[in-house]
Amino acid sequence: MKVIGLTGGIGSGKSTFCELMAEHGIATVDTDQISRQVVAPNSAGLAQVVKEFGVEILNSDDSLNRAALREKIFADPLDQSARQKLEMILHPLIQAETQKQIQDYQQDESYQAPYLLVAIPLLVEGILKKGHKPDYVDEIWVLDCSEETQIQRASQRDGVNLENIKNILEHQASREQRQSYADKIIHNDGDLAKLNQQIKRFFSPTKAKSH
Ligand code: ATP
């Protein structure tokens, strides 16, 4: 089983791709979901984040207000320190849980699929910072589309304001940087049928059946 680090910028189609791959029996370890899990209400992770950023990043039910936190992180585009502090709290927690979930699949004899996807939105940013990919990733697959498509899809999906999306885009790796680390590029400027066509190719039999 190959462990695939799946990445792509905001709104590039990572979740959509994983859903389509699930129809072929391919599971996903979702690091976005893990990043929420490690700051769930009453978690040690959330307590650390509140200590750093204040109670105003909590909703009234004590869950994390991600929009409020994001505003703090991206408030000043030139100041990376808040983002770095957050990463220093969250990364070790996310890393440990991600590795645990991958191991669970590796040890699960009922999981016989050729791939396990590990969706890591900031995979390339991490490589640029550390100089190497995570040990547990065998290949890097990149969801790729134009920035216009990213902005259009992300804003339609979330109703996030355009400035915020552009701000996030500026802080993410460029399209070219992602492409340069890709073992496979999945093109997602087209419709869902086009995306599906590429996926089917991963599973098309190498030999045609002879009758
Ligand atoms: P993020 O990192 O921001 O969470 P993502 O990379 O997981 O985003 P998706 O949520 O899969 O991206 O896609 C963004 C939006 O674009 C969704 O509303 C999704 O339904 C839509 N979308 C993705 N791919 C396509 C496509 N090929 N055709 C039409 N809509 C698409």
Express each pLDDT in 116-139 by its tens digit.
999 999 999 999 999 999 999 999
Nearby residues of 143 by Cβ (< 8 Å), 6 or more positions away: 6, 7, 8, 12, 13, 14, 17, 186, 188
- What domains are there in the chain, each with its CATH number? 2-202 (3.40.50.300)
Determine whether the shortest distance from the Cβ of 12 to ligand 1 is under 6 A.
yes
Determine whether the shortest distance from the Cβ of 121 to ligand 1 is under 6 A.
yes
Task: Indicate the pTM of the whole model.
Answer: 0.85
Q: From atom 9 of ligand 1, which residue's Cα is the shortest distance away?
A: 13
Neighbours of 146 (CB within 10 A): 12
Atom of ligand 1 nearest to the CA of 192: 27
Tell me: ipTM over 0.85.
yes
Report CA(188)–ligand 1 centroid distance (Å).
9
Per-residue pLDDT tens for 172-192? 999 999 999 999 999 999 999
Report CA(3)–ligand 1 centroid distance (Å).
22
Q: From atom 28 of ligand 1, which residue's Cα is the shortest distance away?
A: 191
